[in-house]
Structure 1
Amino acid sequence: MTYILLIIGFILLIKGADYFIDGSSNIAALFRIPPLIVGLTIVAFGTGAPEATVSIIAALEGSADVTIGNIVGSNILNISLVIGITAFIFPLSVERPTIKKEIPFAFLATIALFVLISDIGLGVAYENMITRSDGIIFLLFFSIFLYYVIEAARNSREQDKTDLVNHEQVGSWSKNILITVGGLAAIVLGGYLVVESSTDIAYRFGMSETLVGLTIVAIGSSLPELITSVTAALKKQSEIALGNIVGSSIFNILFVLGVASLIAPLPVDPKMFFDIIVLLILTVFLFIFSRTQYKIAKYEGLALTLFYVAYLVYIIMRN
């Protein structure tokens, strides 16, 4: 039965992503805002829902290793494997604001995570932990990011007031909202089924909680980003594909960890420092690749994918 649920989850993910991209890109047209903004918000937060669900449930159950491992593992997977596979299938064009603001913001969010878990190194505590006060700091940073995105959307609409939307092509508001919400519901349900069934299978094989969080749960809960980004790239919506990943990375650290640590302080496994450093390095690589002719080429996508494979082999051997 577990394997059947796994297959059903994958089917829901694939079909849900298809509808979700169509609906959200049409909503962008109706709102007269750039697809990149939609990718950073509606799509990113929507596809980030599985990570949020898994991490918050894990925090409620006192499984801090799964909570933090899921977030860090998901972000590493998003920036390496998801962008890598997507760019390898279809090179991703990069909007200049993404290079100047969004990717650096994702880097700063990771720096904030590294600093806030370094309690022993900074001499402020005898145990590394994401406390409730750290959670408030994360949520404050997230509110700043939301303010920036809302202002960017508002300015874009003011600049494009003369643009006319062909409603016959993009459909009505109600139709697109229904498609988007229905697609998102399928993504979330599919992600949940994949995570639960794959985690159950992993525990049967004797994997540790930290390893499960960094691999099985991270991969399972990142499947919405992967399917959504690949679907967006195939539909030549590269702004949505890249905005989805960058926005999800910011959302995962600042919002999900912020909320999870407010529920219960999260003790940090010392091994997690290495993984966060890997995430920082990957974000720098993403920034560099994005500046080469303002696109992420096939060979750069392949390099990111191979990087993740090497990282995955290492953490399996480490644990």
Structure 2
Amino acid sequence: MTIFLFIAGLVLLVAGAELLVRGASKLAAAIGMSPLVIGLTVVAFGTSAPEIAISVGAALKGQSDVAVGNVVGSNIFNVLFILGVSALIVPLAVARQLIRQEVPVMLGTSLLLLVLILDRSLDKLDGALLALLTLGYLGFLIVQSRREGAATAGGGSAAAEAGASGPAQAAPKPPRRGGGLALQIALVVGGLIALVFGARMLVDAAVAFARAMGVSELVIGLTIVAAGTSLPEVAASITAALRGERDMAVGNVVGSNILNILACLGLASLVAPAPLAIAPSVLNFDIWVMLAAALACLPVLITGREIARWEGVIFLGYYLAYAAYLILAAQQHDALAGFSNVMLSFVIPLTIVTFVALAVRPGATRSPRR
């Protein structure tokens, strides 16, 4: 029964996110929002909707470990696993704007989270700050995209005046109203309902798994729940990589990580009946892994503005090593000490030396493929 609840909750989460993205995107287009604004706001929230639903649902039930572990684990999973797998499919070229703006914002939000949890809790004041930053970040994206859209529209108008030859080029078709609009509203509502019920079922099943296996709720949140709620990002990034939309594959991960911290933990902290307690292991280990994963994006992107296949292998290998460490630590396995020593004394230093050598090597900068 627990396995059935877990699978059913996961299916509802993914289906709900898909319905929400489709319905909200078409609804936003029908009321005049540009595709760029839709992608930066509605779709970004849609792919983060499972994380928001899980963290808020867990916070309402007083399960702080699941709420916090889901976000931290999802951010680690997004960078190391999703970018790793996507880069194995095709080297991921990265737009300059992503390096200059979104990646620094991701690093800044990760550092802010570290500062906020130093007192080992996230209270309503912390939640209000994160929620306000969510609104500020989305507002900035909307203003920025409107400016870019205005510039593009100006260029497009000039081109149309110079070369338009038919009515199909002169004016776009107006969006359909009536039944179409009602259908999109129904999709949004149905998606939200599926997310709520899916989140409740998945959290209950994950907690039951943890208790039956003798594993903490935190470990379940950092692994199974985090991977499950990241399925929309997995699907979006891998599909984008397969279709050659490599900027989208990276941007989806970076944008999702930003919203996971600001929106997920912001809302969870606001609705929780008591401050979200931060487990010592999160403060002493997992948050630093999340920061390291975010920082790992900088040298990889700056050295060549792309994530090569071998770099994807390293990312994927580190995620598997992180998951193995969590399992060994949860079981207090005898191999834990040896595994930790190998990672700290050999694997991590070798990786750092490799990235530094690439960064300082003459002619190391790769020209991105477009």
TM over 0.5: yes
Match of 2:277 in 1: 267
Count the aligned residue pairs. 306
What amino acid does structure 1 have at the position aligned with 2:281?
K
Query: What is aligned with 1:316?
Result: 327
SS at match of 2:65: helix
Q: 2:134 aligns with which of 142, 156, 159?
A: 142
Q: Distance in 1 between matches of 2:269 and 2:170?
A: 43
Q: Give the deviation of 1:3 after TM superposition.
A: 4.2
The letter for the 2-side match of 1:300 is: E
Deviations 1:2-50 (A, max 9, x none): 545655666677788888888899988x95554xx65542222111111
Change (3 A) 1:47 1:116: same
Specify which structure has the bigger relative contact order, considering alpha-carbon pairs within 8 angstroms and separated by 6 or more residues: 1
Alpha-carbon separation, structure 1, partners of 2:189 and 2:249? 19
Q: Helix, strand or coil for the counterpart of 1:117?
A: helix
1:286 matched to which residue of 2?
A: 297
57-66 or 183-192: which moved more? 183-192
Q: Specify every segment of 5 or more residues in structure 2 that has no aligned partner in the other structure, as ranges.
A: 158-168, 331-370
Aligned to 1:75: 75
Between the aligned partners of 1:144 and 1:224, the Cα distance in structure 2 is: 25
TM-superposition CA deviations, 1:54-100 (whole Å, max 9, x none): 11111111111111111111111111111111221232221111110
List gaps (5 residues or longer) in structure 1: 120-127
**88-97 vs 271-280, which moves further:** 88-97
Name which of 140, 145, 163 aligns with 1:153: 145
- C-alpha distance in 2 between matches for 1:160 and 1:14: 35
Superposed displacement of residue 261, structure 1: 1.2
Alignment of 1:129 with 2:121, yes or no, is yes
Change (3 A) 1:22 1:233: farther
Shift of 1:308: 0.6
Equivalent-residue separation in structure 1 for 2:170 and 2:86 (angstroms): 29
Contact 2:5/2:205 (8 A) holds in 1:
yes
Query: Does the Cα contact within 8 Å between 1:9 and 1:191 map onto a contact in 2?
Result: yes
- Contact 1:39–1:239 under 8 Å retained in 2: no
Q: How does 1:1-319 map onto structure 2 within 5 Å?
A: 1-4=1-4, 33-34=35-36, 38-119=38-119, 128-161=120-153, 162=156, 174=180, 188=195, 192=199, 197=205, 200-262=208-270, 263=272, 264-273=274-283, 274-319=285-330
| 3-state SS of paired residue (1:62) | coil
Structure 1 residues 182-231: Cα deviation after superposition (integer angstroms, max 9, x where no partner)? 99669948964666555544443222111111111111111221122212
Change beyond 3 A, Cα 1:39–1:278: farther
Q: Secondary structure at the match of 2:304?
A: coil
RMSD over equivalenced CA pairs, Å? 3.4
- Measured after TM superposition, the shift of residue 136 of structure 1 is 1.6
